[in-house]
Amino acid sequence: MAINLREIALKEEKLVSGHRLCAGCGASIIVRMVLNAIDEPVVVANATGCLEVATTIFPFNAWNVPWIHSAFENAAATIAGVEAAYKALKRKGEIDREIRFISFAGDGGTYDIGLQALSGAIERGHRAVFICYNNEAYMNTGIQRSGATPRGAFTTTSPAGKAIPGKPQKRKNLTEMMVANGAKYVAQASPSHWRDLMEKVKKAVNTDGPAFLNIYSTCPRGWRTPDNSAISIARLAVETGVWPLYEVENGKYKINYKPPKGFKPVEEFLKVQGRFAHLLKPENAHILEEFKKDIEEEWKRLLSMEEATNK
Amino acid sequence: MKTQIKRIAIEGNEAAALAFKQVNPDVVAAYPITPSTEVVQKFSEYVANGEVDTEFVPVESEHSAMSACIGAAAAGARVMTATASQGLALMWEMLYIASALRLPIVMSVSNRALSAPINIHGDHSDAMGARDSGWIQIFSENVQEIYDNIFQAVKIAEHPDVRLPVMVGYDGFITSHSEEMIEILEDDVVRNFIGKYKPKYTLLDVDNPIAVGPLALTDSYFEFKVAQAYALENSLPIIKQVGKEYGDLTGRYYDVIERYRTEGAEYIIVAMSSTVGTAREVVDTLREKGLPVGLLKIRVFRPFPTEDIINALKDAKVIGILDRSMVPGSFGGPLYHEITSAFYHYEKRPIAQAYVYGLGGRDITTQHIEKVFEELIDIGKKGKPNPLTYIGVRE
Ligand SMILES: Cc1ncc(C[n+]2csc(CCOP(=O)(O)OP(=O)(O)O)c2C)c(N)n1
Ligand code: SF4
């Protein structure tokens, strides 16, 4: 499973330049890392969203792999169909290649509208890797809240108003839902920790069954951050405990990053992003407290799950 | 060459499942809904017993059923599914995508009413909701036709000049659950008729990657849609040709419409699906009494066989168009709209009377149809039609 950077550097790119994602978009970085980590040929299904609309504006196409987009909520069902066809044609002797199947959907297409199709595909056991590039809002329609949007964050449907300052609810824990749903391999990753991310991709594609990856994806437009900050902010998310890196293999938890000297203060992550600017004002101190509590609780729960499942 | 005839008694849904089995598709992704459930149920028995090599995907919704069919068809598989009513409605978004991506998916639809109020019985509201989705739509009068239409659907859908999805409709409960004697074909005859499917492009050709379903902006979207419309229009002669080839094989010839005693008819009823069988009886009775009546069956609703229909109806005095679905807020049903607008540019055209009947499975009897003919004769004398008439409704 070792990742050899030199080998990867020599590989042909599978998502090539010429797409129209914003400068500094996390999604393109993630897709390149994911596809470069895989040795086998892959077929990709893509949900409607930023990644899809910006990479295939007819007659241009930035994908160097077979690719299908059909709608917003059904990337998982679509790739399930592709995988079913593959199984049938293989059984009938029409095809003998080893092929891997991946679906990419944003957090909207995964946590919310796409959840039913994703859950069904995982329950049925299709051998595919279902990837959420998680930018914590619906970006393609202009930064609306999703089930993945963290508590207190500004979006255009959870604006920071006088009465309600940002999203009142904490983010849904989709990663845990996928564990409970029975995915054989589940992980959270971040492009800031590229080796960890690529190793997880390798494990996911080599899993004989459904795998789910939740990958943190920064968005300069929606997060109100500079174009050159994708990786540094993704790293801050990990180092402040906002986005824990962990994996669950056949029910066993493993936390992949434990800060030796403890987490950095959450404020360091929040203060570099426009979407959280209001949280640092004194009148919103109580929301900041809740935000911190959400993170602590999640971390404690992860530690105890790791302990409980590795006894 | 006419092949050996084997006759069996079978229900409509089972006939559909049997046809699916004989096609032996690569992938079936489906979700159950009354009155179509038995198609999937029966088919999964075939899968469980190893009678087909199909990959069966028991999805969690109809939306995913059509999505998985799209994925599988784009991967080069021969793909089939079945649904009805709310299931077809839930697929609506994906129906448009299947046809625009030019994927030859075949679907049986046991036509049923749409909620609310919830009702499980037969009418054409579901199919009519899908009429603009770019699918070829074929309607079956009886169990034999369900069976025959499914093989033809596969051949039409996969024809290199068509490459469009096809839905084969039949009346929920009336045909789906009625047991009839039908003639069936041997498996190898079916296999020869439909041939081996050779997709033009596939996602699994990993050495030649394709992108299916990209974003098309203002500078190209319109051309895609027009090309799709042309493909649907151009499928009409191929549907006829396949119907003829099937006739040469089985003795049962199919055209896009069927004229029943329309020669010299002054009063013609136009209908689809099982109602045609009922109307046929009435036409025979009235013809015996010397009345110049006839019947036109519409077998293919999309693409709409405009010219055939005009030729069949243009010499009539009055036509009664029977719609088993309604268009609330309008002056007639979908079939009425199509036929009357087709006649707009013709000097010589019959008086057209709009009827809506049979919603939610309400019975249509020979008496109802006799009464329609009486009204048509009356309208002929009057020289103008009545407003839209609901048959058999208590007001
Ligand atoms: C059924 C349906 N509802 C709504 C939309 C509009 N829509 C397109 S993309 C999108 C948001 C996508 O958000 P996400 O999945 O988080 O991906 P991102 O754009 O952030 O990359 C929405 C709401 C749609 N295409 N289809
Ligand atoms: S809006 Fe955000 S997610 Fe969308 S392309 Fe731009 S940076 Fe990427």
Give A248-265 pLDDT, tens digit per residue: 998 999 999 999 999 999
Cβ-Cβ contacts under 8 Å, A66 against chain B: 203-206, 209-211
* pTM score above 0.90: yes
Contacts of A260 (CB under 8 A, 6+ apart): none
Residue of A nearest to B196 (CA): A94
Q: Are the CB atoms for B26 and A88 separated by under 8 Å?
A: yes
Q: Is the pLDDT of residue A169 over 60?
A: yes
Phi, psi of A132 (to 5 degrees): -105, 120
Give CA–CA dist B169/B334, Å, rounded: 16
Counted residue by residue, chain B has a size of 395
| Count of other CB atoms within 10 angstroms of residue B32 | 18
Give A 110-149 residues with CB within 8 A of chain B.
Answer: 116-117, 119-121, 123-124
Q: How far apart are CA B19 and CA B23, in angstroms?
A: 6
A141 band by pLDDT with thresholds 50, 70 and 90 = very high
pLDDT for res B83: 98
State residue A215's pLDDT score. 98
Q: Give the residues surrounding ligand 2 with Cβ less than 6 Å away.
A: A 21-22, 25, 27, 50, 54, 135, 139, 219-222
Judge: A86–B93 Cβ closer than 8 Å, yes or no: no
pLDDT digits 0-9 by tens, B80-90: 999 999 999 99
Contacts of A45 in chain B (CB under 8 A): 71
- For strand B136-140 and strand B300-302, is the pairing parallel, antiparallel, or unpaired? antiparallel
Ligand 2: which residue has its CA nearest to atom 2?
Answer: A219
* A142 Cα: distance to centroid of ligand 2 (angstroms): 9
Contact B67 A120 (CB under 8 A): no
Domains in chain A, ordered, with CATH?
11-310 (3.40.50.970)
- C-beta separation of B392 from B357 below 8 A: yes
- Kindly give the interhelix angle for A174-181 and A115-124, rounded to the nearest 10 degrees: 30
pLDDT of residue B3: 53
Distance CA B314, CA B293 (A): 14
B335-354: pLDDT as tens digits: 999 999 999 999 999 999 99
Q: What are phi and psi of B210, to 5 degrees?
A: -120, 160
Give the ipTM of the model, two decimals please.
Answer: 0.97
Q: What's the pLDDT at A248?
A: 98
How close is the Cα of B371 to the center of ligand 1, in Å?
Answer: 53
Work out the average pLDDT over B193-198.
97
**Beta bridge partner(s), residue B88:** none
CA–CA dist B172, B184 (Å, integer)? 22
Task: Name the band, by pLDDT with cuts 50, 70 and 90, for residue B283.
Answer: very high
- Mean pLDDT for B171-190 is 98
Q: Which residue's CA is the nearest one to ligand 1's atom 7?
A: A141
d(CA B331, CA B333): 7
Pairwise CA distance, residues B204 & A45, whole Å = 12
Going from the N-terminus, what domains does chain B have, and what CATH number goes with each? 6-250 (3.40.50.970), 257-391 (3.40.50.920)
Q: Which of A175, A170, A128, A124 is nearest to A147 (CA)?
A: A170
Mark yes or no for CB contact A80/B64 under 8 Å.
Answer: yes
pLDDT tens digits for A40-82?
Answer: 999 999 999 999 999 999 999 999 999 999 999 999 999 999 9
Q: Report the mean per-residue pLDDT for chain A.
A: 97
Three-state DSSP state, A125: coil
Q: Does A63 touch chain B (CB under 8 A)?
A: yes
Report whether pLDDT(B4) > 90.
Answer: no
Q: Ligand 1: which atom is nearest the Cα of residue A140?
A: 19
Q: How far apart are CA B241 and CA B245, in angstroms?
A: 6
| pLDDT tens digits, A221-249 | 999 999 999 999 999 999 999 999 999 99
Q: What is the helix (H) or strand (E) element at residue A24, kind and residue range?
A: none
Of B67, B211, B217, the CB nearest to A77: B67
For residue A1, pLDDT over 80 is answered with no
